[in-house]
């Protein structure tokens, strides 16, 4: 039965009970919550307002994970699927055995080839040792390895990590930042710098002329697979602008003639090599 | 004879000074109480850093306000703008003159104390209206008009609810009403409806939740105080809490026996000891009602403005009139 004032009385009773109830305030700097030793917070992948994962596969979380429990896969800036973890994580778990257990025809694992790539382990060890295993030499070591393979094989990175006893995430993080290739390429990759400095000094014209010369647009490869053309802004050679990178070597400042000369040099070398073999 | 006059003037000056000084700790204590009690009811600890147990939090707030910059809007009328907080504050402070703290501890024991009280307390409406008008800001003006509408509306049931008690006691003097209550029992028993109307109206009159439409903290800008800063705002703030104290004190004096103890007042206790005893009971009862007001604020949501006005005119005013009518008939019939 509704009785005027009953609701108010109920509310007053509630607040009066609360007046004597234990308080929930925690005096933070003085009183700290008891956190279990193994507590590592909640692991979660958050989304940006457009519904995309905010995770950029930067490996910072893997870097601070004390038990190296975190590994991840994602897409690089060119849309290639990259996975820098053990094969049996996340959706990669659909390994041939899982298919067999499900009564399906076994399929090869995705990216399995990369896991099986062969590297010259003594060469990598030697390179690491020649720099004394100092972490600040990582970039130089990467450069040496990249010169040998044309890209940085994942196994080589693992080997570097083991040899130098540096956390894998740190090694991979450094490799991902420095403009190194993490995937094998065919032929030469010509990278035209499109940073502001290079564009002001004629980088646009340089790119257009090279596109005309090779008959492809930026981001494409020539039909014979000898050249891949791309633009990037992380070449980091403002003093050389307009700059150009062929595979791992940076040239600049270049005019159109110089660039075309470099390309024809590579073309001639490839042809010579082809005839020789 | 001249000496007697001088003595009276001196006593009056002393009493008013004491009352003005009393407003400061009163406001600080009530603000502190509000901070701590509401925090407790919200399951929080509340301020606990300034002084032991945080007991100087409101004081430090007061000094902070004192140290703040005092701004006057360009287009505002400086004289009325500066006058308004003073008017509101003085309305509260002046009405303290007639509050009966204890036998012999009344600044001015008028025989028309009740009339004086409601007349002077009503002046704060003028202050709020002036504040809203002088600010040269339409929100302040609307806030001022809103508060004026509310306070004028509630003054009517507030005053009428007392008339029953006045008719019953046959006096307009506070000390005589308390004396009547000593003989006949507290007016709480005689005038329960009057008490209810008085309490609700007094909450609205001093802008307390659930009737704090004047300065609805969480919903509106600060009403007529919008353009005020520093100690001018502080005066409005102080006046509000002093008014709460005064209203609780008047409620206690009129319906809960004022300085009387819940059991018969020991007659042998005279003079200074009796005054202290009375002051103890008066403050205890008053602060119980201050606590209830704070408790209400922690509990109730704000009423809508149309409900607020409807309540005053459609419920409280007729009820007060009926109460007065019944009381008057009872006085005549039973020859009370």
SS3 state of residue A226: coil
Q: For residue B40, which of B255, B299, B216 has the smallest C-alpha distance? A: B299
- At residue A272, the pLDDT reads 65
- By CB neighbour count within 10 A (0-12 exposed, 13-18 middle, 19+ buried), where does A209 fall? middle
**pLDDT band with cut points at 50, 70 and 90 for residue A51:** low
Cα-based distances in Å from B153 to B116, B124, B148, B204, B296: 19, 14, 8, 9, 21
pTM above 0.90, yes or no: no
- At residue B265, the pLDDT reads 59
Place of tokens 């509990």: B299
pLDDT at A96 over 70: no
Instruction: Give the sign of the dihedral formed by CA B111, CA B114, CA B117, CA B122.
Output: negative
Can you tell me the distance from the alpha carbon of A140 to that of B327, in angstroms, rounded to the nearest whole number?
Answer: 102
- By CB neighbour count within 10 A (0-12 exposed, 13-18 middle, 19+ buried), where does B321 fall? middle
Query: What is the tens place of the pLDDT at every residue in B101-154?
Result: 888 778 888 888 899 999 998 888 898 889 888 888 888 888 888 888 888 889
Q: Domain count of chain B? A: 1
**pLDDT band with cut points at 50, 70 and 90 for residue A112:** very low
CB contact under 8 A, B44 and A11: no
pLDDT at A123 over 80: yes
- At residue A275, the pLDDT reads 45
Residue of B nearest to A17 (CA): B41
**pLDDT band with cut points at 50, 70 and 90 for residue B329:** very high
- The residue ranking higher by pLDDT, B182 or B104, is B182
- What residue segments make up the domains of chain A, in order of their start? 121-177, 188-276
Nearest to B295 among A12, A23, A27 (CB): A12
Q: Which residues pair with A232 in a beta bridge?
A: A193
Q: Above pLDDT 90, what percent of chain B?
A: 28
Domain that holds residue B63: 2-334
**pLDDT band with cut points at 50, 70 and 90 for residue B16:** confident
CB contact under 8 A, A18 and B42: yes
With an 8 Å Cβ cutoff, is B300 touching chain A? yes
Q: Across residues A269-276, what is the average pLDDT?
A: 58
- The residue ranking higher by pLDDT, A52 or B94, is B94
Task: Collect all residues with Cβ–Cβ distance below 8 Å to B59 and sequence separation of at least 6.
Answer: B28, B32, B50, B51
CB contact under 8 A, A8 and B299: yes
When mean pLDDT is compared across A40-49, A84-93, A200-209, A256-265, the lowest value belongs to: A84-93
| CATH architecture of the domain formed by A188-276 | 3-Layer(aba) Sandwich (3.40)
- At residue B115, the pLDDT reads 92
Q: Which residues pair with B203 in a beta bridge?
A: none
Q: How far is A29 from chain B (nearest CA, A)?
A: 13
- At residue A16, the pLDDT reads 92
């Amino acid at each position: 039965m509704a009785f005027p004032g009953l609701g108010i009385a109920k509310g007053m009773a509630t607040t009066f009970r609360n007046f004597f109830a234990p308080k929930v305030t925690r005096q933070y700097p003085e009183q700290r919550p008891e956190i279990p030793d193994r507590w590592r917070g909640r692991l979660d992948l958050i989304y940006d307002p457009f519904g995309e994962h905010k995770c950029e596969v930067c490996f910072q979380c893997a870097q601070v994970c004390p038990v190296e429990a975190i590994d991840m896969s994602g897409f690089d800036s060119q849309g290639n699927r990259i996975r820098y973890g053990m094969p049996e994580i996340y959706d990669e778990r659909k390994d041939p055995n899982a298919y067999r257990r499900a009564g399906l025809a076994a399929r090869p694992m995705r990216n399995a080839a990369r896991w099986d790539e062969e590297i010259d382990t003594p060469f990598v060890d030697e390179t690491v040792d020649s720099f004394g295993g100092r972490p600040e030499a990582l970039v130089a070591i990467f450069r040496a390895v990249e010169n040998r393979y044309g890209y940085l094989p994942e196994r080589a990175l693992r080997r570097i990590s083991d040899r130098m006893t540096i956390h894998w995430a740190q090694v991979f993080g450094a490799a991902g930042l420095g403009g190194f290739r993490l995937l094998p390429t065919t032929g030469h990759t010509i990278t035209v710098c499109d940073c502001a400095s290079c564009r002001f000094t004629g980088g646009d014209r340089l790119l257009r002329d090279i596109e005309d010369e090779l008959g492809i647009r930026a981001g494409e490869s020539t039909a014979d697979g000898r050249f891949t053309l791309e633009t990037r802004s992380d070449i980091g050679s403002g003093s050389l602008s307009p700059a150009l990178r062929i595979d791992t070597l940076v040239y600049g400042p270049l005019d159109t003639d110089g660039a075309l000369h470099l390309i024809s040099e590579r073309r001639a070398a490839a042809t010579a090599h082809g005839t020789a073999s | 004879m001249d000496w007697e006059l001088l003595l009276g003037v001196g006593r009056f000056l002393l009493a008013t000074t004491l009352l003005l000084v009393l407003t400061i700790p009163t406001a600080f204590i009530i603000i502190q109480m509000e901070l701590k009690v509401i925090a407790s009811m919200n399951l929080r600890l509340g301020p606990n850093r300034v002084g032991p147990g945080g007991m100087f939090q409101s004081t430090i707030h007061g000094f902070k306000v004192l140290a703040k910059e005092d701004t006057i809007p360009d287009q505002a009328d400086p004289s009325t703008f500066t006058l308004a907080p003073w008017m509101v504050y003085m309305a509260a402070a002046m009405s303290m003159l007639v509050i009966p703290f204890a036998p012999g501890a009344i600044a001015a024991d008028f025989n028309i104390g009740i009339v004086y009280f409601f007349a002077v307390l009503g002046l704060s409406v003028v202050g709020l209206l002036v504040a809203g008008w002088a600010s040269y800001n339409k929100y302040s003006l609307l806030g001022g008009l809103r508060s004026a509408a509310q306070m004028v509306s509630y003054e009517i049931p507030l005053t009428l609810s007392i008339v029953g008690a006045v008719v019953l006691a046959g006096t307009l003097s506070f000390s005589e009403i308390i004396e009547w209550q000593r003989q006949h029992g507290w007016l709480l028993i005689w005038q329960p409806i009057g008490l209810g109307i008085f309490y609700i109206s007094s909450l609205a009159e001093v802008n307390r939740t659930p009737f704090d439409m004047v300065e609805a903290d969480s919903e509106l800008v600060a009403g007529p105080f919008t353009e005020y800063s520093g100690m001018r705002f502080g005066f409005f703030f102080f006046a509000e809490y002093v008014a709460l104290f005064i209203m609780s004190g008047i409620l206690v004096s009129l319906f809960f026996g004022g300085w009387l103890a819940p059991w018969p007042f020991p007659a042998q206790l005279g003079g200074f000891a009796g005054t202290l005893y009375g002051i103890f009971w008066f403050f205890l009862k008053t602060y119980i009602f201050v606590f209830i007001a704070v408790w209400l604020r922690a509990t109730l949501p704000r009423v809508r403005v149309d409900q607020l006005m409807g309540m005053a005119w459609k419920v409280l005013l007729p009820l007060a009139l009926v109460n007065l009518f019944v009381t008057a008939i009872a006085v005549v019939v039973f020859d009370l």
